[in-house]
Structure 1
C-alpha cells in the first residue's frame, strides 16, 4: 500500500510540474513545450501562440518566438524552425536577431580556438570583441571608413595681401566628406593618421607685377607650428607689354595666376587644418575665378578645388 501511495504522489508531482510550465506533448521521440505539434527533438513555443487545435506547423510569425532542436542534426534554431548551422538565429520576422556576448576571465587557451568574448577591461582597455586563436585573445579589427573630402569653390572670394582662410566650399555629395566644415573650410581629423591635401587655385585675370608670387598655406587652427606648409607660385615675368599683331601694337594684357599645392601630414585625432591664400601680385584684392552657377559642366568650374584623402 505504501508503494502504491508513493507512485500516486510521483504522478501528482509530475502533473503539477507540467501544469506549471505549460503544455508538454511528445510525438515519436519529439518533445514540445507550449506546442501540440513539435517540429524537432525539442520544440519550445515561447509565446504559446502556435496552433493548439490541429497538428499544423507554426507560421513564420508564430515560429519567431520558438526554440527548436533539430531531430536530425541537433542544431539549435532560435526563431528558425530549420537551423542550418549549430546555432541559427536568422529569423526573417524578428528585428532583434542579435547575439549577446559577455566578458570572461578565462585564458584564450582555456576557452579554446574560435571562442569569442566581449571585453572592456583587458589591454587594450576599451569596448571590443576578441577571439581566441587557442593561445591569445585577439582584437577584431574593423576598418574605419576613410576620409575622401572633395570640395570646390562656386561662391567666390577676394584674395588680398594678407593670409585669409578659403571658406564657403561646395561639397561633392558622392565623397566621404567626414570631418570637413564647408562654411569655415576647417578639416578636423577623425583619427590619428596620415592625410594628403591637394589644393588647386585660379585667380581672376588682372594686371600683375613682375617678380611677384601667390602663397598658399596649410594652416593649423590650434597648436604649433601654426603653418604646416607653404607653397609658392612665382611670376618672374608677367605678360605686360607683350607684342600683338594688329593696329594696337603694344598692349597691356591681363594674366590669370593659378597653380596647385599638395602636402601630406601626420595628424592627431582632433587636429584642425584649413587652407589659406595671399599674394603680392598687385596692391589690392583679386577674386577667385569661379563659375556663376554651381553646375559642374560650367567652363569656369573646377579651377578652385580642395581634396583631402586619408591614408
Structure 2
C-alpha cells in the first residue's frame, strides 16, 4: 500500500510540474523567449535582453498577456499583427467557395471565380460577399502656357510646351500637349486662350478644338466670334486699332482608357501669317500682367 501511495504522489508531482512548464514562456530557436510562445526563425536573437526590431522581423510570438499573435512584431497590438520592419508585410489569401453565411460576417476572401469577373478582394457581411472597392486616383491636370507659340491663320495648331501646375495621375505630356485618359470615364476640359493684340479681321473667329491625334478626329469644338474691328478701311475712317482676341471653352467628353486628347486653336483673325499667344516673359512673377492667360484644366469625374 505504501508503494502505491508513493507512486501516486510522484505521478501527481510530475503532472503539476509539467503543468507549470507549459504555463511558462516557451522558446524555439531562442533561449530568451519574449512571449508565451516565441519562435526565432533565424535563431539570431541575443541570449539576454530584448531583441532588436531587425532580429524580431523573422520571429513568431504569442503575447503572454493578451494572447495576440505577432509575426515579426514583438508586441502585437491586434489579434494578428504583421507590421514588422521587414518588407514582406503582406497577407496571403486564397480562393474559397464557401458561402458568405458559411464563412461568417467579417470573413475576407480572394476571388477569381465569381461574377463580376476578375481578381478581387471580397468581404462577407454574413449574407453576401461584397467586393472591396479602392477608389483610384482621379486625373486632375492644371497646366499653363509660359513659352512663346504662334498660331498660324487657317491651320489648326496644337498648343504644346505647357508648364505643369498639377498632374495627379501623371496623365499629361507637357511637351506635346497630349492628355491620356487613365481609365474609362467622363472628363471635363477647360481651356482659356488669349492672343497678343493685333489688328484682326472683321467678323473673325477662333475655334477651340479637342482633338484625338491617333484617330485624327475632332472630339469637340467651341467657337468664339469677334465683331467689328477698326482695320483701316473707309468705314473706319482709315483708322486701325489693335484688338486682343481671347476666350474660354469647356467641354465634357466620355473617353475610353488610353484615349489621347490635345487642345488646338484654329483662327482667321488675320488674312495671312500668324498671331502669337499672350504669354508671360517672367514665369516666376505671378504679378506679371502677361501671366495666366492661356491655361488648360482637365478633371476626371
TM-score by length of 1: 0.81
Of the three residues 179, 187, 190, the one matched with 2:182 is 190
The equivalences for 1:70-109 within 5 A come to: 70-91=63-84, 93-109=85-101
- Alignment of 1:259 with 2:250, yes or no, is no
Distance 1:283 1:145, change over 3 A: same
Aligned counterparts of 1:131 and 1:206: Cα–Cα separation in 2: 64
SS of 2:102's partner is helix
2:280 aligned to which of 285, 291, 299: 291
**1:27–1:106 distance in 2 versus 1, CA, 3 Å:** closer
Partner residue of 2:297? 307
> Number of paired residues?
276
Is structure 2 residue 218 aligned with structure 1 residue 227?
A: yes
Alpha-carbon shift at residue 256 of structure 1 (Å)? 0.8
Preserved CA contact (<8 Å) 1:198 1:261: yes
Counterpart in 2 of 1:145? 137
CA contact under 8 A between 2:120 and 2:132: conserved in structure 1?
A: yes
User: For each residue in 1:119-160, what CA deviation from the matched residue of structure 2 results, as whole angstroms up to 9, or x when unmatched?
Assistant: 233322222221111222221111111111111112222222
- Distance in 1, Cα, partners of 2:88 & 2:169: 31
Q: Secondary structure at the match of 2:298?
A: strand
Distance 1:51 1:182 in 2: 56
- 1:111 corresponding residue in structure 2: 103
Q: Output the aligned Cα RMSD.
A: 2.4
Task: Give, in whole Å, the separation in 2 of the partners of 1:283 and 1:241.
Answer: 14
Matched with 1:161 is 154
Cα distance between partner residues in 1 of 2:171 and 2:289: 29
Note closer, same or farther for the CA distance 1:207–1:60 as it changes in structure 2 (3 Å cut).
closer
Match of 2:207, SS state, is: strand
CA distance in 1, matches of 2:160, 2:52: 59
Q: CA deviation at 1:51?
A: 3.3
Gapped regions of structure 1 (runs ≥ 5): 1-24, 243-248
* Aligned partner of residue 286 in structure 1, secondary structure: strand
**1:258 and 1:74, CA in 2 relative to 1: closer, same or farther beyond 3 A?**
same
- What is the Cα deviation at residue 95 of structure 1? 2.7
Residue 17 of structure 2 corresponds to: none
Q: Deviations over 1:233-278 (max 9, x none)?
A: 1112124469xxxxxx974211110111111111111222111111
Q: Report which stretch shifted further, 39-48 or 273-282.
A: 39-48
Is 1:61 equivalent to 2:49 in the alignment? no
Deviation digits for residues 195-251 of structure 1, max 9, x if unmatched? 110101111111112111111111233459x22222111112124469xxxxxx974
Which residue of 199, 203, 208 maps to 1:211? 203
Is contact 1:26–1:32 with CA below 8 Å preserved after alignment? no
Question: For residues 176 and 296 of structure 1, what CA distance do their matches in structure 2 show?
Answer: 24
Residue by residue, what CA displacement relative to the aligned partner does 1:27-69 show, whole Å, maximum 9, x if unpaired?
Answer: 75332212223332222121222334x5x44343332222122
Matched residue SS, 2:248: strand
Deviations 1:76-114 (A, max 9, x none): 1112222221111122x3232222222222222221111
